[in-house]
Amino acid sequence: MIVHVREASNDSRMILEKYSAKDVGGVLHCFNASEHLLPLAKHNFYFGIGGVLTFKNARKLVEVLPKIPLDKLILETDCPYLTPHPHRGKRNEPLYTTFVAQKVSELLDIDLKEVEQLTVNNTKQLFKQFSTII
């Protein structure tokens, strides 16, 4: 399940928990940095982090990022939108996840190669999980 929550974090979490979304799991696409959603990590959800993390006004996401379990962190583009700095204003591309990975590395004080490997492994695990459901 790919879930994009906007201004409905608490309601979304309650609905996903009530209807056993953990049986399916998925991605909190374009994660909005709401701590209300962090318990969904225990319900088989991954947190999609994109270009917003590189924005100057991303204070909330910067604060919440360290609270996301590392094994539930993935990188995403939200292409063609939310292009990371320094390419903001251009069409977003998968290549630009490199800038998001660099920001994650900086904020979590983790080597960039480790961030890359971690998020690739998490993404593989996520899609492996989906392939067993279908």
Q: What is the CA radius of gyration of the chain?
A: 14
**CA of residue 114 relative to chain centroid, distance:** 16
Q: Which domains does the chain have, with CATH numbers?
A: 2-133 (3.20.20.140)
Please give the share of the chain, as a percent, with pLDDT higher than 90.
89
Dihedral of alpha carbons 98, 27, 35, 55, sign: positive
Which CA distances in Å does 38 have to 60, 72, 117? 13, 10, 22
pLDDT digits (tens, 9 = 90+) for 66-82: 999 999 999 999 999 99
**CA of residue 91 relative to chain centroid, distance:** 20
pLDDT reported for residue 127: 87
Average per-residue pLDDT in the chain?
A: 94
pLDDT reported for residue 9: 94
Give the ranges where 5-111 is alpha helix by DSSP (H).
9-18, 59-64, 97-108
pLDDT digits (tens, 9 = 90+) for 75-111: 999 999 999 999 999 999 999 999 999 999 999 999 9
pLDDT reported for residue 132: 60
Helix or strand (DSSP H, E) at 130: helix 112-133
Asked whether 79 and 48 are in contact (CB, 8 A), the reply is no
pLDDT digits (tens, 9 = 90+) for 11-41: 999 999 999 998 889 999 999 899 999 999 9
Of the candidates 54, 58, 49, which has an alpha carbon nearest to the alpha carbon of residue 88? 54
pLDDT reported for residue 31: 95
What residue type is 4 in one-letter code? Answer: H
pLDDT reported for residue 133: 57
The SS3 assignment for 82 reads coil
